[in-house]
Amino acid sequence: MSAPLITLIGMGDDGMAGLPQSTSARIEAADIIVGSARLLGLLPDVMAKKHKWPAPFDPMVSQLHKWAGKSVVILATGDPMWFGAGSTLLRHFQAAEFAVIPHVSAFQLAAARVGWALQNTETLSLHGRANCLIEPAIQPAARLLVLTSGATSIAEIAARFVARGFGESRFTVLEHMGGAAENHTSFSAQAVPDVEFSGFHTLAIECIAGATATILPRAPGLPDDAYDHDGQLTKREVRAATLAALSPTPHTLLWDVGAGCGSIAIEWLRAAPHTEAIAFERGLDRIAMIEHNRQQLGVPHLQIMPGNLPETLTNQPAPDAVFIGGDVANTVQFETCWSALKSQGRLVANAVTLEGQAHLIALQARLGGDLVRIGIEHLSEVGSKRAMRPRMTVTQWRKVKP
């Protein structure tokens, strides 16, 4: 196989001075160089034609094909394969079609500056993404290294920490690491300084929970009041049991059929990385609740499919798991879900009415699987005394598709 004509090169804030001679030689020998205005500005005079990295990148893809036979260098910051340009190229090219020369990543530099072991630190990117994605990572004693979309993101992220009762968390803004203008600024989330930070920075956060902090772990079973809902949601203890039966794992897709306020789909996405979920819901008020909840709980990538069931289930990507929380006696809806479910996929259905329970009993008799009855009791006042008051019993059918 001949060497790729496209070379993706990571570069630091010190420009060519921080690159090995062999990497610098590739840049100097290139016919065409693509990069951001900042990175192109770090280059000395070279013979290559320079092109700014466009946003969005898609128009550049066709142009790259037109440059077949020429030596093309694409410059990126740090390690292009870690929340970088490499993932963008992989959507359009095979890995064998371009070479990658990584530089020290912003995460590595930041960890070295603040003295944190990377294996004990969570790294995430909000660059070009919604700031609410940080919500699941706000946990007591957690250490976070964050790429942002610019200086304005700092105050917005800090406001989320304050709202959760994590206002004492320590923020450190590390600007232009490795360059002549490197600068570090530390402060608490509740005291963001009124200064203009550089857009080229990495944010280090040491999470500190206050006495009244709202702790929302990634484990299933968030408090019911974590959601905007109309009372029709899968309650906390049943929700935890339901997610355990659905078994979220990375790179899997859930259908939440009759999603209500979206609690099952939201906790599926929070429970494992790189998961996907589609919430099927027809009620406009409940769709608004799902939209609010996905932002508040840090899963903006939850897809919402409005409209009537089972019509909205057609032409959707095949799920790895299906949860049916409403209208379980709808035969057409069930058959559509069962047919679409992947082999070895899991289907979980909950029912509280006698009609719904009868239907699940019949399905279990026909298809097998497990039937579980979940009864929950909560402390209640009875006059001057206390007693345990039961909630409605839930019958749950669990089946793995052969």
* pLDDT attached to residue 62: 83
Q: Which of 67, 68, 103 is nearest to 85 (CA)?
A: 103
Judge whether residue 130 has pLDDT over 60.
yes
Most confident range (mean pLDDT) of 14-18, 50-54, 271-275 is 271-275
* pLDDT attached to residue 45: 81
What CA–CA distances, in Å, run from 270 to 83, 131, 248, 298, 316?
Answer: 19, 15, 9, 8, 22
Cis-peptide into 56, omega within 30 deg? yes
* pLDDT attached to residue 3: 46
* Averaged pLDDT for residues 242-249: 98
Q: H or E element: which one contains 305?
A: strand 303-306
* Averaged pLDDT for residues 156-170: 98
**pTM across the whole model:** 0.92
In angstroms, the first-to-last Cα distance of the chain is: 42
Rg over alpha carbons for the chain, rounded to the nearest Å, is: 26
Q: Which residues pair with 373 in a beta bridge?
A: 395
CATH 3.40.50.150 at 6-104, yes or no? no
Question: Please, which pLDDT band fits residue 150 given cuts at 50, 70 and 90?
Answer: confident
Looking at 43-154, which runs of residues are DSSP E strands? 49-52, 72-77, 98-101, 122-125, 143-147
What is the DSSP annotation of 375-400?
Answer: --EEEEEETTEEEEEEPPPEEEEEEE
* Averaged pLDDT for residues 92-106: 92
Token pair belonging to 120: 């004990």
Question: Please, which pLDDT band fits residue 135 given cuts at 50, 70 and 90?
Answer: very high
What CA–CA distances, in Å, run from 42 to 12, 83, 84, 202?
Answer: 9, 22, 19, 19
Specify burial of residue 332 (Cβ count, 10 A radius: 0-12, 13-18, 19+).
exposed
Mean per-residue pLDDT of the chain: 94
8 Å CB contact between 234 and 242: yes
What is the DSSP annotation of 159-207?
Answer: HHHHHTT-TT-EEEEEESTTSTT-EEEEEETT---S----SSEEEEEE-
Judge whether residue 8 has pLDDT over 80.
yes
Classify 315 as helix, strand or coil.
Answer: coil
Q: Where are the domains of the chain?
A: 6-104, 107-206, 224-400
* pLDDT attached to residue 292: 97
* pLDDT attached to residue 55: 76
Distance CA 179, CA 18 (A): 9
Distance CA 275, CA 259 (A): 17
Domain 224-400, what fold? Rossmann fold (3.40.50)
Distance CA 297, CA 170 (A): 22
What's at 278, amino acid-wise? Answer: I
Question: Please, which pLDDT band fits residue 4 given cuts at 50, 70 and 90?
Answer: low
Residue 243: which residues within 8 A CB-CB, separation 6 or more?
Answer: 220, 221, 264, 267, 268, 271
Token pair belonging to 106: 């912003």
Judge whether residue 1 has pLDDT over 70.
no
Q: Which of 401, 231, 395 is nearest to 329 (CA)?
A: 395
8 Å CB contact between 166 and 207: yes
* pLDDT attached to residue 346: 98
Residue 143: which residues within 8 A CB-CB, separation 6 or more?
Answer: 116, 120, 121, 122, 204, 205, 206, 207
What's at 121, amino acid-wise? Answer: T
Judge whether residue 361 has pLDDT over 60.
yes
* Averaged pLDDT for residues 165-171: 98
CATH 3.30.950.10 at 107-206, yes or no? yes
Classify 9 as helix, strand or coil.
Answer: strand
